[in-house]
Amino acid sequence: MEIANRLTLTNKRNKNKGFTLVELVIVIVLLGIMATGITGFISLSTQTYVNVADRDELIASARFAVERLNRELRNAVPNSVRIKNDATRQCLEFVPIVTSTIYTDIPVSPEPLSNLITVIPFLGEDGLDYQCNGFCLDIVTSYPLNSGEIFANQFDGIGKVFGLSAINQTTANEWTLTLDRTLGVNFDSDSPTKRLYIVRTPVSYCVNNSQLRRYANYGYAVNQSLSPFAFSNHIMAENLKALDTSKLPFSIQEATLQRNAIVQIRLDFSKGGEDIVFNNEINIKNIP
């Protein structure tokens, strides 16, 4: 009898240790509230990380493109920069300098035609004596005052831009450049500083379809193209906004007697709700 009573008391105590339905409902509600709060916190943290990552990607892309463009434009032939656009595209075109020197004699109208230029010895891109043996594809120009003189017809024997075919290191103090016009040429005018630039093919940076592309290794053309047929075509930046003709990516302030030419760059980037605008001015320091 005593053992039975003890068992009955034990069973009652065990029943008293359980959870009621109300307690279970309260626990479930509390867990739901906590889960909602934690989920919201995690979601907010994740979205913040995504936004920061998108912003960093846009900034990195913009900085790379602008820095590359800065370096190339600062090495452009003076007055060679030109811009063209339509409703959806815009291109900035210029001619990069390979090297430069001072000439001692060039054929200038009304002097007789000649395909020879005498210059002071100078170095090439590699820091060694400049070389052009045979078909080197380099071009010479002197005293260009506007982009039209750079991109003009190079095969009529008159102008300021002519192809180079060879170089002869005549003496230690004087070299002779041979132009590719066997009949000879006449430069339009002398340079006040006797400066002669050695250049190669043009380069274009074009904004089109949310991309900034770089075109290189293509020929000269009197009329600028918005889609150059180039052997080198690379994406420099993406996620650009659609072209706004009231806020074009490229504009230029022509050189004056008081200052050099200035190229203004405005690139509008957008990704994942993040918008970044890069404004930059590039001073082209080279002079004719």
Q: pLDDT, tens digit, for every residue of 78-119?
A: 899 999 999 999 999 999 999 999 999 999 988 899 999 999
Q: What is the mean pLDDT of residues 11-27?
A: 66
- φ, ψ at 221 (rounded to 5°): -145, 140
Any idea which of 46-50, 119-123, 254-258 has the lowest mean pLDDT?
Answer: 46-50
What is residue 76's predicted lDDT score, i.e. its pLDDT?
92
- Residue 275: the pLDDT is 81
Residue 96: cis peptide before it, omega within 30 degrees of 0: no
Joined together, the tokens standing for residue 124 give 């090439």
Q: How many percent of the chain have pLDDT more than 70? A: 86
Instruction: Report which residue type is found at 115.
Output: N
> What residue type is 248 in one-letter code?
L
Instruction: Provide the token pair at 162.
Output: 């002519």
Taking every pair of Cα atoms in the chain, the longest distance, rounded to a whole number of angstroms, is 141
- Sorted by where each begins, the domain ranges of the chain are 53-94+202-283, 97-199
For residue 29, what is the enclosing H or E element?
helix 21-73
Strand partners, 195: 102
More confident residue, 258 or 182: 182
* pLDDT tens digits, 188-244: 999 999 999 999 899 999 999 889 999 999 989 999 999 898 888 999 998 888 888
Cβ contact 44:265 at 8 Å: no
Give 138-197 pLDDT, tens digit per residue: 899 999 989 999 998 777 778 899 999 889 988 889 999 999 888 899 999 999 999 999
Q: How many helices (H) and strands (E) does the chain have?
A: 3, 16
Choice between 255 and 208, residue whose per-residue pLDDT is larger: 208
Q: DSSP per residue over 139-175, as a string?
A: EEE----SHHHHSS-SSSSEESEEEEEEEE--SSS-E
pLDDT at 42: 65
Cα–Cα distance, 4 to 268 (Å, whole number): 87
The whole-angstrom separation of Cα 121 and Cα 129 is 8
Distance CA 83, CA 129 (A): 35
d(CA 116, CA 176): 6
| Average pLDDT, rounded, for the chain | 84
C-beta of residue 143 within 8 angstroms of C-beta of residue 190:
yes
Helix (H, G, I), strand (E, B) or coil at 134: coil
Buried b (16+ CB within 10 A) or exposed e, 172-187: eeebebebbbeeebbb
Q: What pLDDT shows up at residue 224?
A: 95
Reference 175, options 120, 134, 225; nearest CA is 120
